[in-house]
Amino acid sequence: MNRSHWIALTLSLPLCGSFALARQSTPPEDGTPAAPRCGLGREFHAGRRARLREELDKGVFVIRGLGETRGYHAFRQDKTFWYLTGIESPGAALVMDVESGREGLFLRDANPWKEAWEGEVWDVEDAWVGEVSGLGEVRSNKELDGFLEELLGEDRPLWISMHPYIGLGDCFDRAIPADRARAADPLDGRASRERAFREQLQQRFGRKAQDATKVLSELRRAKTPEEVEAMRGAARAGVAAMNEAIRSTRPGLGEWELGALMGWMHLREGAAGAAYHPIVGSGSNSLVLHYSANDRVMRDGEVVLIDYGPEFNHYTTDITRTWPVGGRFSERQAELYDAVLAAQAAGIQAARPGARMADVNAACTEVLRERGLGDFLAHAATHYIGMEVHDVGSARKPLEVGVAFTIEPGLYEKETGIGIRIEDVVVITPEGCEVITAGIPRAREEIEALWAEEGVLDALAGGR
């Protein structure tokens, strides 16, 4: 078959999946082309790079974005690379001269054939990339080695990030153990992507790169106003989806149906996708902290616990609610639920500048132990949240304005098959904290009232 016939044939075949890039910009409602926008805006990402240079003091910093996807799904940039650049293109890299402030963005060369299949990608021939990104030098990624060699000279420090690469739905506290397990596997033994990169740099430039992960983690701990606004977007999508799940819950539905419904809702609200696989645990599945099968039919008399969050502009939310499948809490369900709600209220009250995560956790735990429910505790009540659903940061440091974390006390009574967890995202403010996921009912009476409303799945079934 000659090339022209092969091209004609392949262009006539439907794609078996979507592997377009994640949205770099959102088109206006009137359908006109959107102006290119870099992540959360040029000023935000330039500000993050400037802060990193201040902390590193001297040397050269280099970081790679992610390469091509291995399947037919949307490309999503590594979180750390995106945080510093706002660039969604695969195969990109960033180099910064810490002292002089000179910066180079390295993109792949234009590939019209590939873009015909996958859509437009920012590449080295797009002259406006430097302007919208704030990165002065935009070069082909083939020039990366020469640029690094020019900046490094004889003995300047070389910096990289050893933080594991994080895409949509990934999280460092799962990625690190997974990388270690693979490296220790006698039938595999591969180093992590980051370790392999450090080894390559050492071979090419004769020096071991230093790790800037702690510096970057500390920069990410307190969120800027732009980041908080992105988290509000994720929260809005999550609130809409969770409220619809409560409305649509009925005995006889599958856990998977509520999971699918929330996925549709958050996409409708502008989210990029799920920040993690939703936990939809009914009956005894509500006792499994990270239950993932979502394959059981829900029954009257049980509770369903949903732990779920979408991602919006690379920032996540994390919400948990528990409610009765049949619309009314039993006496024991109500007793446990009210205890967890009181514990969360105590945690929210304790969340303020100067406090520590341990103080918030202790406030939640104290309420439950005072009610004689300490035997049913199974986990801590807090974790950081941001670009990753379990985000980076030291739990020992005092809380400061802009720090975002979850408050999620829970009780798990195996004898009755009742698991109760209530989780919201808070952001520390000068006065205390703001619950940015507060649009979902928490009081029992409000949950039961929302359950009684007609939901989307009721409408699809022709009403109740």
| 12-39 pLDDT per residue, tens | 333 333 333 444 444 455 555 556 788 9
- Tell me the domain boundaries of the chain: 8-221, 225-460
Q: Which of 299, 305, 300 is nearest to 278 (CA)?
A: 305
Of 42-46, 193-197, 374-378, the range with the lowest mean pLDDT is 193-197
Structure tokens at 60: 């050269």
pLDDT at 401 over 90: yes
Of 266, 263, 269, 298, the closest CA to residue 284 belongs to 298
| Residue 283: DSSP 8-state | G
Q: Is the pLDDT of residue 353 over 80?
A: yes
Sheet strand arrangement including 158-160: 137-140, 103-107, 93-97, 60-64, 158-160, 210-211
Q: What is the pLDDT, as a whole number, of residue 128?
A: 84
Q: Give the predicted TM-score (pTM) of the model.
A: 0.90
Round to whole Å and give the CA distance between 25 and 145.
Answer: 31
pLDDT the model gives residue 34? 59
Question: Whole-angstrom Cα distance, residue 256 to residue 281?
Answer: 10
Per DSSP, the three-state class of 221 is: helix
3: pLDDT strictly greater than 60: no
pLDDT of residue 35: 60
What angle (nearest 5°) sits at the alpha carbon of residue 119, between those of residues 115 and 120?
A: 80
The pLDDT tens digits of the residues spanning 272-319 come to 999 999 999 999 999 999 999 999 999 999 999 999 999 999 999 999
Q: State how far the Cα of 27 lies from the Cα of 122, in Å rounded to an integer.
A: 16
Lowest mean pLDDT segment, chosen from 46-50, 54-58, 192-196: 192-196
With CA atoms as reference, report the closest residue to 163 among 218, 95, 234.
218
Structure tokens at 92: 């990109």
Predicted confidence band at 182 (pLDDT cuts at 50, 70, 90)?
Answer: confident
The class (CATH top level) of 225-460 is alpha beta
Range 93-99 average pLDDT? 96
Contact (Cβ atoms closer than 8 angstroms) between residue 315 and residue 233: yes
- From the list 345, 351, 343, 349, the residue with the least C-alpha distance to 384 is 351
CA distance 323 to 321: 7
Cα dihedral 283/284/289/295 (nearest 10): -70
Percent residues over pLDDT 70 in the chain: 92
Q: What is the pLDDT of residue 120?
A: 87
pLDDT at position 61, please? 97
**Does the pLDDT at position 254 exceed 90?**
yes
What phi and psi, each to the nearest 5 degrees, are found at residue 267? -65, -40
Phi and psi of 259, rounded to 5°?
-60, -45
Instruction: Examine the pLDDT at 225 and tell me if it is beyond 90.
Output: yes
Under a CB-based contact definition with an 8 Å cutoff, are residues 222 and 400 in contact?
A: yes
Please report where in the chains the tokens 């003091």 appear, as a residue. Answer: 57
Q: Determine the pLDDT at residue 31.
A: 57
Q: Where are the beta strands (DSSP E) in 224-366?
A: 273-274, 279-282, 303-308, 310-312, 315-316, 319-324
- Tokens representing 196 are 């392999």
> What are the tens digits of pLDDT across the range 184-222?
889 888 888 888 889 999 999 988 999 999 999 999 999
Amino acid at 335: E
Q: Kindly state the tokens that stand for 445.
A: 């009476």
Provide the token pair at 99.
Answer: 């002292």
Distance CA 340, CA 121 (A): 48
Residue 166 confidence (pLDDT) above 50: yes
The answer on pLDDT for 367 being more than 90 is: yes
Kind of pairing between the strands at 310-312 and 315-316: antiparallel
* Rg value, the chain, Cα: 24
* Predicted confidence (pLDDT) at residue 366 exceeds the cutoff of 90: yes
CATH 3.20.20.150 fits 8-221, yes or no: no
In the beta sheet, which residues pair with residue 435?
Answer: 426
Average the pLDDT over each of 18-27, 241-250, 366-375 and give the range with the smallest value.
Answer: 18-27
Are 366 and 346 within 8 A, CB to CB? yes
